[in-house]
Structure 1
Amino acid sequence: MVDLTVARLQEVMIVLYALGLVFYLIDYLKKSKVVHRTAFWLIVTVWVTQTAILSLYIIQMKRFPVLSLVEGIYFYVWLLVTLSIVFQLIYKVNFMVFFTNIIGFVFLMIHVFSNLKYTASTVGDSLISEVLFVHITSAILSYAVFALAFVFAVLYLIVYNVLKSKKFGKRFSSLPNLHQTMMGMKMSIYTGIPILFVSLLFGVQWAYVALENWSLFDVKIMGSFAVLLIYSSVIYFNYKGKLQSVEFAWMTIFAFLLTVVNFFLGSTLSQFHLWI
C-alpha cells in the first residue's frame, strides 16, 4: 500500500515539477507576476510531495534514505528544491531558481526512469552507523552546494555576455549583477570544500573500521579526492589572481561536471561503494 502511494505521489510530483519549470520559463519571457507566483507555488508543492515521500519511506524502512545510490539521488533532488525555495524567498533571483530546478528535474528523471528501484542496497541494513550517516549526508550536501556554484557560474557567463553584447532588455532585468554571481560562486565553493573534506574523513574512518577489504585507490575514493583537489585548486588560483572572471566560471562548471561523473561512474566502478 505504501509503495503504491509513493508511486502515485511520484507521478503527480513529476507533472507538477515540469509545469513549474514551464511557468518559470513563461515568466522569464513574459514577466507576469501571476505566472511567477504560480511557478513558485508549484515548486513548493513539489517540495511538499517530496517531503511526504521521504517521510513515508522513513516510516516504512525505519531509517533515513541515503544508503543506496538511488536513495542518495532522491535526497539530492530534495536538497536542490529546498535550496531553490530558500533562494527565491531570500534573494528573489529567478534565474538561479530556474537553473537549480533544471538540475533537480534532470536528477529526478534519472531517479524515476532508471532501472534502479527505490530500495535500499543489499548491504544497507548492516551499514547503519552514525559515522556512515555523517559521511553520506555530508557528501550529498556538498554536491548540492557545488550545484549552486555551477548555477552561479552559468549566470555569470550569461550576464557577462549580455553586458558584452550590450543587448539589454526586460528579459534580463531580473538577472543578478556580475559581482553577485561571482560572490555566489566563491561562497558556494568555500562552503562545499570543507563539507566534502569532512565527508571523506568520515568515509575513510568508517571503511577502516567496518570493512576488511578496501583500498584508498578505489575509483570512487580517488575520484572524490580529485574533486576536492580541483575545487581547492580553483579557489587557490582565483585567490592568486591567475583564474579570474570567465575562466573562473568555466573552471567551476568543469569541476561540477567532474563531480557528476564521479557521482555516477565512480559508484558504478567502485569495488565496494554501493552507495553515494
Structure 2
Amino acid sequence: MQDVFMTRLHEVLIILYAFSVLFYFFDFMHNNQKANKAAFWLLSFVWLLQTSFLAIYMMETGRFPVLTIMEGLYFYTWVLISLSIAMNRLLKTDFFVFFTNVLGFIIMAIHTFAPIREQSDKSAEQAVSELLFIHITAAIVAYAAFSLSFIFSLLYCIQYDLLKKKRWGKRLKRISDLARLEYISYILNVISVPLLLIALILGIQWAIIQKPSFPWYDPKIIGSFIVLLTYGSYLYLRVSNKLRGRNIALLNIASFLIVLINFFLIGNFSYFHF
C-alpha cells in the first residue's frame, strides 16, 4: 500500500513539474510575468515534495541516497531544481531556469517510470501503464491545440482575402480581426510545442521500458520529431519577426498538414504504434 501511495505521489510530482515547464516555456516565448510566477511557485512546490521524499528516504535507509543509479538520478534532479530556484532568485536568470528544468524533467521522468525502482511488480506495471497514459494524453492535447491553431490560421487567410478584395458584409464582421486571429493561433502553438515535447520524452521512456531494443528509426518517432522541428521553426520565425501576417499563417497551415501526414500516414508504418 505504501509503495502504491509513493508511486502516486511521484506521478503527481511529475505532472506538477510538467506544468511548471509549460509555464516557463510560455514565459520564454512571450515574456509573461504571470506565467513566470506560476511556474516558479509550482517548481518550488515540486522542490518541497522532493526534499520531503529525500528526507523520508534517508531516515528509512539511514544513508545518503547516491549509492544506486536511480538514487543518483533523483538526487541529481533535486540539485538541478535547487540550483535553478537559487539562480532565479539571486540572478533573475529566468531562461536559464527554463532550460535547466527541461533537463530536470527528463531525468525525473526516467527516475519515476524506470522499472529498476524498488517496488512491487504490480506497482511497476501500473507505473508503466500510467506512463503510457500520460504520453498519449499529452500527445492528444497537443494535436488538439495544433488543430485549433490551424483553424485560426485558416480563418486569418479567409479574413485577409475578404479584406483584400474589399468584400464588406456580415461574413467579414462575424470573423474576428486579423491581429487577434494570428495571436490566438500563435498562443495555441506555444502551448502545443512543449506538450508534444513532453509526450515524446515520456513515449521514448515507455518504449525503452517495454522494448529496450526498440528501433530509434521508427517512422512515427522520426515523423513526430519533424513535427516538433517544424513548429519550433514556426515559433522562432514568429518571435523573431522574420515572418508575420499571412505568411506565418500559411506556414502554420502547412505545419498542420505535416501533423496529419504523421498521424494518418506515417503512423501506419510504425513498428510499435497501434
TM-score, length-normalised on structure 2?
0.53
Q: Does 1:232 align with 2:232?
A: yes
Instruction: Tell me what 2:65 maps to.
Output: none
Q: Does 1:139 align with 2:112?
A: no
Q: How does 1:200-239 map to 2 (within 5 A)?
A: 200-239=200-239
Instruction: Tell me what 1:185 maps to.
Output: 185
Amino acid at match of 1:256: F
Q: Does 1:195 align with 2:195?
A: yes
Instruction: Tell me what 1:43 maps to.
Output: none
The alignment partner of 2:174 has SS state of coil
Instruction: Tell me what 1:259 maps to.
Output: 259
Distance 1:229 1:168 in 2: 39
Distance 1:166 1:264 in 2: 38
Q: How does 1:1-276 map to 2 (within 5 A)?
A: 129-274=129-274
Runs of 4+ deviating beyond 6 Å: 125-128
Contact 2:128–2:206 (CA under 8 A) maintained in structure 1: no
Contact 2:220–2:267 (CA under 8 A) maintained in structure 1: yes
Amino acid at match of 1:252: N
Compare CA radii of gyration and give the structure with the larger one.
Answer: 2
Shift of 1:181: 0.3
Q: Deviations over 1:204-249 (max 9, x none)?
A: 1111111143122110001001101100101101111211111100
Q: Which runs of 5+ in 1 are unaligned?
A: 1-124
Amino acid at match of 2:214: W
Shift of 1:128: 6.7
**Range that drifts further, 233-242 or 126-135:** 126-135
Shift of 1:127: 11
Q: Deviations over 1:5-29 (max 9, x none)?
A: xxxxxxxxxxxxxxxxxxxxxxxxx
Q: Which runs of 5+ in 2 are unaligned?
A: 1-124
Distance 1:168 1:211 in 2: 59
Q: How many residues align?
A: 150
Distance 1:126 1:264 in 2: 29
Distance 1:261 1:139 in 2: 15
Q: Deviations over 1:9-55 (max 9, x none)?
A: xxxxxxxxxxxxxxxxxxxxxxxxxxxxxxxxxxxxxxxxxxxxxxx
Amino acid at match of 1:262: N
TM-score, length-normalised on structure 1?
0.52
Distance 1:191 1:126 in 2: 28
Amino acid at match of 1:170: K
Distance 1:263 1:202 in 2: 18
